[in-house]
Amino acid sequence: MGVDIKIPIGLMFSILGIILTVFGVISNGAPIYQHSFNININLWSGIFMLVFGGVMLLLAYLSKTRKES
């Protein structure tokens, strides 16, 4: 039995999401966001990546528990 593909995808997006979210929080208000209408793109994309990674990990966990019962 192999590894469910949702686990590495979820881990990858979660780790990248954490990195981008932390960078977005640290660099909040920096002049680099003037080009993007003062929207903190790093923060928002990090949050979306964290949510997507969490959903993938949750789906992997639910499919594992469903197979065991």
1 within some domain: no
The span from the CA of 53 to the CA of 43, in Å, is 15
pLDDT at position 1 is 58
CB 57 within 8 A of CB 18: no
pLDDT at position 51 is 98
24 within some domain: yes
The span from the CA of 55 to the CA of 68, in Å, is 20
The residue ranking higher by pLDDT, 36 or 10, is 10
Amino acid at 25: V
CB 12 within 8 A of CB 62: no
26 within some domain: yes
> How many distinct structural domains can be found in the chain?
1
Task: For residue 31, give its domain range.
Answer: 6-68
pTM of the model as a whole: 0.85
| pLDDT (tens digit per residue) in 12-39 | 999 999 999 999 999 987 788 888 888 8
| pLDDT (tens digit per residue) in 30-65 | 788 888 888 899 999 999 999 999 999 999 999 988
